Structure 1
């Protein structure tokens, strides 16, 4: 009996000794299973989240990619940020796991304090977002946007007429026409009214929004409790001004359409189409229509404007590419008429120039951030719920041979890189509903400029690519020469302008 007790005690001792080892092994395995993706070294409490400036962060992310790979993780102050540096990682998470990665981060300043949480681009993924999305798709589907081809073509011709009169002011002309396209389509506003009353305000408002929707732009976004600070704190004053600007941006053109409809003189527009469908809960629908239209108005003009300016810079730097595109246009369209959107399918090299323009300098280098709705594991790495996920489309755009060079021919071969249209307008369920309208605007503006003008460097300036570092990145002011390709082209532009005015 004593021997049995002794043996039992020895066995029990072995089990007791094994328990700490088992616990240590279990904890080690759990830690391995919940390892964060790689990232720069972190400090106590603040982690590594303050190591990258919000301005031009895509450059630093690409440098880190060489060291850490497709996934780049930042954390600290209770926040987690995951940067996706490849199209594979973007597709695997934002597309294949869209149920987890379709939310937007809560930008405390712009969403809560400025009141932009009602706008579709920043709405949480859910029923309200779906309702806005259905409205936008109804008005801007591939079939629906065909009705706006004539407006877009007329405004492209108007851009030519203005460049003919004052080519040195091309920045301003492109800016106004890009804004006019959106205001004409979304609200049916005529050119003069749009320019005098709306476009400048829209630009100022979008500048405020762009600066506020870069993750980390405000310390309040990292530490939301700061939103309760008094109104005299600088970011609170900025938020108050932003709220007033956004409310005017969304409400003023919308109320204009309603007044014109009541008077029976509203021209065709996206807003008029949506308001014409009367249903029982019209009050709720009107609020959604107002904010859906406002989202299209606010974002659409700036990205088109930026893309066309990048194109002008590229042509001034690469006259050989310009000549080849013009030769194709002369062969397909001829020299006796303006191009039309229906010509798009027959102009492979012109389309390659447009794709290369979008790839060479993406105007949304970090797209718009997402947020994970639950804990997730990817490639053995742990991604906590609430992680801000940033698609680094800049890294995707440059992931091809001679990525920093402007080479449209790369899109003509069998080994062409990823079409920029797959990442320039967002991803998966949150792809921009204005994609088809935006593609048509960019096509007709660029194609018309190619058909009518020669774009050359200004001999007084050493032109070098130089771009802003905000959410929407566009060229800093530069000089170039824009002149009609011939006297016949100049006369054709004047004739088209007179017809438009009549």
Structure 2
């Protein structure tokens, strides 16, 4: 277990409490609420700042950069992806170079502003502990320039702000279509947590179904479906095809998670991560809770550095949402169920279900009151209140 990731758990609990409260008030705005959670968590950890609504000016600027990065990083976003020789053109003949130059200037300016804000707060003795402050305090040890440090922290935000939200939207889609698994989740959570508590990290070792649902969601609908492109560091041969060093390789996450290792791969089936017999991929989670055997977070030395934080967030959110709410298909004015498509996803570097209509209601008045009370306590105890 990562000790650093464990130290962030109080922040995840606080932000997830706000998410439950937001869902309780305006469930139809689930996309905004999930994006606020994801960006709010990383904003706290990265820059020591809070995001209350997601509509703050600075947040809008950051999310614009995030969505732009996702667009330009998508395979085929520019013709040069297909015809690399276009890179030889001068900038005045290559519109893609001009656009990327403007985007880099915008991105760097934003990252510098965030870093300068923390630097000024440190001078004023008001800077909370955060990743940017850690870099500035130990910059000489890291051996990075100010701009390089700004990019390290800034790109962590870019990578984490939307991915957790996208995965959770696929979880909601799964619950709409698989009420049996929702019931199994709720039964496990109610048994372990009891009626007087909201699920927390202390409950996770006793919630194997929660962890299995998270893993199956990431396998069933990988966020980075086409994989993150990486360059080969040396020549390689794959199925008789010679690939020289420097070749861009896309590890197709969608295809990998539909390997024969996962029978009936299009079916959302968390049991594949639970049962100790075939077709389980390996040992049960109850015995080996840290085994991955799926590539949702990448591979090797380029594996997602925020993997431990992200997986903890997903486990906590799944447990808390299933504890608090019933999720089901919505009905029209005639009482007929409104169809929810299974494969209507966005395109791009990261993918998520396009907005769909469903019902999310508190499971009981008691649970609703517990969420409201937890939110009041969280606001009172928030070390960044007013920032």
The structure 2 residue matched to 1:293, chosen from 150, 153, 170, is 153
Distance 2:346 2:229 in 1: 19
1:328 paired residue number: 188
2:311 paired residue number: 439
The structure 2 residue matched to 1:425, chosen from 289, 292, 297, is 297
Does residue 275 (structure 1) correspond to residue 139 (structure 2)? The answer is no
Aligned pairs for 1:236-247 (under 5 A) are: 236-247=97-108
2:37 paired residue number: 177
Question: What is the deviation of 1:205?
Answer: 1.4
Kept in 1: contact 2:175–2:182 (CA 8 A): yes
Question: What is the deviation of 1:227?
Answer: 6.0
1:136 paired residue number: none
Kept in 1: contact 2:257–2:294 (CA 8 A): no
1:488 paired residue number: 366
Does residue 142 (structure 1) correspond to residue 2 (structure 2)? The answer is yes
1:228-274 per-position Cα deviation (integer Å, ceiling 9, x unaligned): 44548643453244223312342222222112111111122122223
Kept in 2: contact 1:358–1:420 (CA 8 A): no
5+ long unaligned stretches in structure 1: 1-140
- Taking structure 2 as the reference length, the TM-score comes to 0.86
Kept in 2: contact 1:397–1:420 (CA 8 A): no
Distance 2:171 2:13 in 1: 18
Distance 1:195 1:248, change over 3 A: farther
The structure 2 residue matched to 1:454, chosen from 319, 326, 334, is 326
Count of matched residue pairs: 361
Does residue 352 (structure 1) correspond to residue 216 (structure 2)? The answer is no
Question: What is the deviation of 1:164?
Answer: 1.0
2:269 paired residue number: 407
2:46 paired residue number: 186
Question: What is the deviation of 1:499?
Answer: 1.4
1:211-236 per-position Cα deviation (integer Å, ceiling 9, x unaligned): 22233321224334446445486434
1:458-490 per-position Cα deviation (integer Å, ceiling 9, x unaligned): 113211121112110111011111111100000
1:317-346 per-position Cα deviation (integer Å, ceiling 9, x unaligned): 111101110110111111212211232221
Distance 1:474 1:194, change over 3 A: closer
Distance 2:78 2:125 in 1: 46
Distance 1:152 1:421, change over 3 A: farther
1:196 paired residue number: 56
Kept in 2: contact 1:359–1:420 (CA 8 A): no
Q: Give the 3-state SS of the residue equivalent to 1:279 in structure 2.
A: helix
Distance 1:298 1:237 in 2: 22
2:20 paired residue number: 160
5+ long unaligned stretches in structure 2: 283-290, 333-337, 381-387
Distance 1:317 1:159 in 2: 22
Kept in 1: contact 2:219–2:294 (CA 8 A): no
2:258 paired residue number: 398
Distance 2:275 2:253 in 1: 22
Q: Give the 3-state SS of the residue equivalent to 1:156 in structure 2.
A: helix
Distance 1:270 1:396 in 2: 33
Distance 1:462 1:281, change over 3 A: closer
Q: What's the Cα RMSD here?
A: 2.3
Distance 1:307 1:356 in 2: 11
1:372 paired residue number: 232
Distance 1:453 1:206, change over 3 A: same
1:270-301 per-position Cα deviation (integer Å, ceiling 9, x unaligned): 2222322363786x353332111111111101
Does residue 471 (structure 1) correspond to residue 335 (structure 2)? The answer is no
Distance 1:232 1:154 in 2: 50
1:214 paired residue number: 74
Aligned pairs for 1:38-77 (under 5 A) are: none
Distance 1:285 1:339, change over 3 A: farther
Aligned pairs for 1:112-151 (under 5 A) are: 142-151=2-11
Distance 2:141 2:215 in 1: 44
- Taking structure 1 as the reference length, the TM-score comes to 0.68
Distance 1:193 1:169 in 2: 11
